[in-house]
Amino acid sequence: MAEAKDSILKNPELLPTTDDGRKMSLGDYTILWAGMTINIVGFSLGAQYYNNGKGLSALTLVLVVLLGYGLVTAMTAMIGDIGTKYGIPFAAYIRAPFGYKGGSIAAVLRAIPALYWFGFLTWVGASALNYIMGMFISGFDNLTLMIILFGGLQILNAMYGLKAMAKFDWLAVPLLAILFAAIIVTITTKFGVSIPDIIATPAEGQMSFAYAVAGIAGGWITMALNGPDLSRQIKRDPDYASQCFFRRNRRAFIGQFIGLMIVGVVLMLIGMAAGIVTGEWDLNKVCLLLFESRLSLVLAFIVIVFAQWSTNTAANLMPPTYILISLFPKLKYWSATVIAGVIGLGIMPWKIQSSGTFLVDVQVWISTMLGPIMGIMLADYFIIRKSQLNVHDLYTPNGQYQYEGGYNISAMIALISGFALSFLSSSYAFFIGLVTSPIIYVLLMRAYTLKKYDQKIGQSIELDMDKLGSSTV
């Protein structure tokens, strides 16, 4: 039993990344984020935030997107400092605030949204493939088969790791830029409206500003939590240890600013423009309404397939894959990727479509669920541990993160309390959980946990492979 537990902590896929393993340049990281940002959800959210004139205006949407993505960028870079300095992934670090066993609870909560989005985006891409097949094969209409085939292709690509995903994005992003440019040109010519006309289109504003920002943040808080998984792959300077926080994480900030914030604003405005003139949020249906020639439609649907592919592999398959490896140490990376993909398809999230703003609602729920976890992680790393970690004990059974039977009671109480307090306001639920959970966590840690369990505060202890023993998977 002890050996099995030891293996869980020391799974080789979760061990710290060395400098030799950091292969991503600033360009790779930027294009990775751009590839993840350009997706059907971002496009569709633009239309759903407008909601046929009942929601936000274009100018309000720009402000909402900048604030939401700015918050995500800050959180991702802050928590990503763990990967920059220590090379450890989310699934390993989460043991520090929650405990060896408690970390699994937080990890599972984080995996749920990723699995949902993998299934949903696979449905979108498969729908595009289904349209293409129907154009060339009379009477063809087998969406289920397309979902299985498209899901399998994405899983196969993700099995080769993050570097393979980033290189794939170099193909997807330019094609998407061409498609969205074509959409804007078609909208302005076919419907006789200009971009200033679209920007000036009024809306009733039947959506709380805070709720709207939470919806933007909810779409990417999952990746923000996995900031260490991304930053541990980025090349770092030889003198990173002596650099200030902003300098050693500058590549993460720059990459996200360009790939997420700039690309995200443009994407959502295009989605809103399409929603204004067509009344549709589904990119597939928008293309059917805008493009008349078969060639244009086929090319558009091919690009849509690539868009979902580039987003799903890095944003929605990689995180649950690492979490599965953490929970079940005998799994290899490739087998965990297959399992995560099958689960994402099996829950069939595309069947959950209700109101005209259902995607916004889904993302607000995600932000509400994960906000407390983010708050606790940030408080633990920056306030409690002052950015100094005992990395060795993250991979050592019965180490300092054992707490009470593998659970840190302070973190569990803060998590539950933060989530419960979120229900005080639907509009501010995300912000309430994000702010209250770290406050409760810090108070409980200082009043109880730190007094009972030595956490070696202020000490930075690297992983010593020689002391780990040989019971690795």
pLDDT in tens, 300-311: 898 888 877 777
**Is it the case that residue 417 has pLDDT exceeding 50?**
yes
**Is it the case that residue 463 has pLDDT exceeding 90?**
no
Tell me the pLDDT tens digit for each residue of 47-73. 899 888 888 888 888 899 889 988 988
Contact 11, 394 (CB under 8 A): no
**Is it the case that residue 1 has pLDDT exceeding 50?**
no
Q: For CA atoms 46, 47, 49, 54, give the dihedral sign.
A: positive
| Per-residue CA distances from 85 to 16, 132, 244, 282, 298 (Å) | 10, 47, 11, 41, 46
Domain with residues 22-351, CATH architecture: Orthogonal Bundle (1.10)
How far the first Cα of the chain sits from its last, in Å, is: 14
Contact 254, 30 (CB under 8 A): yes
**CA atoms in the 13 A half-sphere facing the CB of 47:** 20
Contact 340, 325 (CB under 8 A): no
pTM over 0.75: yes
Least confident of 54-58, 315-319, 356-360: 315-319
Domain boundaries, the chain: 22-351
For residues 404 and 31, give the distance between their C-alpha atoms in angstroms, rounded to a whole number.
43
The confidence band for 9, taking pLDDT boundaries of 50, 70 and 90, is low
pLDDT (average), residues 94-101: 93
**Is it the case that residue 344 has pLDDT exceeding 50?**
yes
470 CB-contact burial (10 Å; exposed 0-12 / middle 13-18 / buried 19+): exposed
Under DSSP, the state recorded for 137 is S
Write out the DSSP string of 160-213.
T-HHHHHHHHHHHHHHHHHHHHHHHHHHHHHS---HHHHHT------S-HHHHH
pLDDT (average), residues 286-312: 86
What percentage of the chain reaches a pLDDT higher than 70? 92
List the structure tokens of 131. 């349209």
**pLDDT value, residue 432:** 95
The confidence band for 158, taking pLDDT boundaries of 50, 70 and 90, is confident
**Is it the case that residue 473 has pLDDT exceeding 70?**
no
List, as own/partner pairs, every contact residues 173-181 make where C-beta atoms lie below 8 angstroms and the sequence separation is at least 24, other chains included: 173/31, 173/34, 173/35, 173/38, 173/310, 175/302, 175/303, 175/306, 175/307, 176/38, 176/303, 176/306, 176/307, 177/38, 178/303, 179/299, 179/300, 179/303, 179/304, 180/38, 180/266, 180/267, 180/270
Question: Please, what is the average pLDDT of the chain?
Answer: 85
**pLDDT value, residue 262:** 87
Least confident of 33-42, 76-85, 150-159, 219-228: 33-42
Q: Which residues pair with 390 in a beta bridge?
A: 461
**Is it the case that residue 257 has pLDDT exceeding 60?**
yes
**Is it the case that residue 471 has pLDDT exceeding 60?**
no
